[in-house]
Chain A
Amino acid sequence: QITLKESGPTLVKPTQTLTLTCTFSGFSLTTYGVGVDWIRQSPGKALEWLAFIYWDDEKHYSPSLKSRLTITKDTSKNQVVLTMTNIDPADTATYYCVHMVVGPSHYYMDVWGRGTTVSVSS
């Protein structure tokens, strides 16, 4: 059974750096075709894709946030870490960590963590 759990601060001050950790079980990020995404959802708003890391360490970022995001993995700990710099109140959201299967022609985000809520305020 695949599970993912997000952790990190609930309150962050503007201009600070946010570090979120996704701890997962039931799969390995050394397995071909497996990846992990970070997706966020501001209160009452739609889902926004942020970043993706693949089993071979290939990384992709949202173009609008690319300069502020870093995604890394620690396969020995079964963790994926997302760092976001220069935090702003507009970054207030629930952040989800998601297991992704990358097939030969189709990808799908099949298992989501429960999410962690981050508020940005001074």
Chain B
Amino acid sequence: DIVMTQSPATLSVSPGQRVTLSCRASQSVTTHLAWFQQKPGQAPRLLIYAASTRASGIPARFSGSGSGTEFTLTISSLQSEDFAVYYCQQYNGWPPWTFGQGTKVEIK
């Protein structure tokens, strides 16, 4: 299975700051990479797929980049509603599809 590793595990940030989250794949997944946001008690929400394509209704402050094994999710100016856990997920070919262990973005 492809292992997805996210860093850091926790990020303490002030509102308005720019945030960069990292995700690394154990082997190339080309651009078959998605990002999800999960708030406490809620289901995950799709933010980005194809490494850099925003899902429907996702604000422009969220952007994704990368290819191969290194990926980044950037939040240009963190809003109060963005404090959450973020997961990356690879979908290279047919399953198994795997998720990273998550990065928690918390208030500084």
Contacts and interface: CB of A to CB of B under 8 A. Distances in A.
Interface residues on B, range: 20 to 34
B43 A47 contact: no
17 contacts: A37-B97, A46-B99, A46-B100, A47-B87, A47-B89, A47-B99, A49-B95, A52-B97, A62-B96, A106-B49, A106-B91, A107-B49, A107-B91, A108-B34, A108-B46, A109-B34, A109-B36
B96 A60 contact: yes
B contact patch SS: loop
A63 B97 CA distance: 11
In the complex, the 10 A-B pairs of residues with the closest C-beta atoms, listed nearest first:
A108-B49, A60-B95, A112-B43, A47-B99, A106-B50, A46-B101, A107-B91, A49-B97, A110-B46, A46-B102
A contact patch SS: strand
Interface of A: 37, 46-49, 52, 60-63, 96, 105-110, 112-115
Interface in B26-69: 31-32, 34, 36, 42-46, 49-50, 53, 55-56
